[in-house]
A and B are shown apart, each in its own frame.
Chain A
Amino acid sequence: MIVAEWKPIPEVVEKLRGHKKVLVVGCATCVAECAAGGEREVETLAPLLRMAMIKDSNPIEVCTNTLERQCEWEFVEGLAPTIMEVDAVVSLACGIGVQALAERFSEVPIYPGVNTTALAIREEPGLWAARCVACGDCVLGETLGLCPIARCAKSILNGPCGGTRDGGKCEIDENIDCIWHLIYERAQARGKVDALLEIKKTKDWSNSDHGGPKRILREDLRL
């Protein structure tokens, strides 16, 4: 899922100064799963914002709504009547949802209420960890299903680097697994260490953000 985290409330408050009526919009998909922008979080944030704005001497009216998906036009369209009644929107969706609202309702300021931070999985209750960076050239078939691009701090293809700590942890954070240590262990368990001896050549990063803003054209789906 796409994972997001609340922005600090003072940062949102600063944006809302001068507004009178604000709509806080959630998204019931990824950001709901990661407990950042679903209905529950929308209903939690709304009163906090209301109080923070009073404290800031800028009281505002706050209304709420949570869309099934903020990244799909048909769901976004459902906001049209409500948008007419507010003078600003705080979106708790990922950056895609925020931009969908901003594109459909370009006359109204849309502020992000979250920072979109990763493509991650819920490892444990209350703990999410990155699994993918959308690099556009998937290597999971060669790394036994463990991603060294998303899960190695240096995204190296010929690991592990010299920074592996005792217990197989990463040099940058003792709570992060050295993914190459895990790849090695899995290779060993499967009798596939030989596959790690081949030198992996420089990667083509161009089928991702590194190649410029990504655009996917599927002629077979065009109308």
Chain B
Amino acid sequence: MSLRVGSRLERVLSEGHFAVTVEVGPPRGPNADAVREKAKLLKGLADAYNVTDNQTAVVRMSSIAGAKILLDEGLEPVMQMTCRDRNRIAIQSDLLGAWAMGIRNCLCISGDHQKASARGKLKGHPGSKKVYDVDSIQLLSIMKGLRDEAVQDGGDSITEPASFFIGAAWTPLGPPQEFRAFRLAKKVAAGADFIQTQAVYDVPKFAAQVEKALEMGLTDKAAILAGIIVPRSANMLKYMNKSVPGVVVPEKAIERMQAASDQRSEGIKITVELINEVRQIPGIKGVHLQAIEAEEMLPDIIEQAGLLPRPEPQQ
């Protein structure tokens, strides 16, 4: 496969290494050092680092700024971009700016609706105006246009291509499950080079969906990274099973966590096992690990999963 962009993530995948990406949530404030500290903790553990874009619609440092700080620390970012807060003008402008600053991977997602911002302890911004000018699949097409044709959505050209390694999300176990592989196909057709999935806990169900994608030829066209959210407690697993759409947690996993004397270390064990299991699924090219507000758990997990050291891809 000839390289489209040459980002480290793309090179790792193109050389056939099992890729590791991890999530870095920006702080709820303007503190660059908070991002740098996470960078120091996580450096060398992954091939690329996702910087979330105001996840759950809660205001945080922007993903574009967070990604730039990681870049300055020597980590390769995957800038996440949602469709929630920007119209097509702002989206394209931010993409040009991100590329100008050296950001090369971007994940396109629709984003949690602003109503989600008031679901937890925070007031959030449930009264904010809705944007959703374009959807995540249209965003993929826009990014492909900027890269492959140096053309904007409206048809105007840009002076030179903004070449991103283009990512998309996939929720294989979201209803209607029969349609999810087709929707993945739309994302791949729109321009997705790599896919990061919703969190996997039910490996057989996940594998069945990946098999469909494989049969449709999608796993050759885009690299699928299985998403894993590091569980820290039985309550967290229960919450995700009940409240996070598309996340299915088998009862056995919840019981196992409940029975554990040290739920945190059990969470590390479960994550390592999940990594090893999804690794066996034909068509899975890597893992995307999320240790939400618990990034310090990641070094042990990645080490114990035998994923260190990370490969140094050729130039």
Contacts and interface: CB of A to CB of B under 8 A. Distances in A.
A201 B175 contact: no
Contact of B141 (A171, A193, A199): A199
A4 interface: no
Interface in A138-153: 153
Interface in A176-211: 178, 181, 184-185, 188, 193, 196-197, 199-203, 205
Interface stretch (A5-13, A42-50, A105-113, A156-164): A156-164
A203 B111 CA distance: 19
B112 A157 contact: no
Give the interface centre of A168, A171, A172, A201 by most chain B CB atoms within 10 Å. Answer: A171
A171 B116 contact: yes
Contact of A202 (B138, B169, B182, B186): B138
B113 A171 contact: yes
Nearest to A167: B175
Contacts of A167: 175
A161 B110 contact: yes
A181 B176 contact: yes
Given A157-B138, A185-B176, A171 B182 contact: no
Contacts of A188: 178
Chain A interface, DSSP helix/strand/loop, else mixed: loop
A164 B186 contact: no
A155 interface: yes
B182 A154 contact: no
A158 B175 contact: no
Contacts of A154: 83-84, 110-111, 113, 130, 132, 135
Interface in B215-261: 245-246
**Nearest 9 A-B pairs (CB), nearest first?**
A162-B171, A156-B135, A158-B137, A172-B115, A154-B132, A161-B110, A172-B113, A163-B245, A165-B245
26 contacts: A153-B113, A154-B110, A154-B113, A155-B132, A156-B132, A156-B135, A158-B138, A161-B110, A162-B110, A162-B245, A162-B246, A164-B174, A164-B176, A164-B245, A165-B245, A168-B176, A172-B113, A173-B115, A178-B175, A185-B176, A188-B178, A197-B182, A199-B138, A202-B141, A202-B142, A203-B133
Given A158-B135, A196-B179, 12 more contacts: A153-B115, A154-B84, A154-B110, A155-B132, A158-B138, A158-B183, A162-B109, A162-B170, A163-B245, A171-B245, A201-B138, A201-B141
Interface of A: 153-168, 171-173, 178, 181, 184-185, 188, 193, 196-197, 199-203, 205
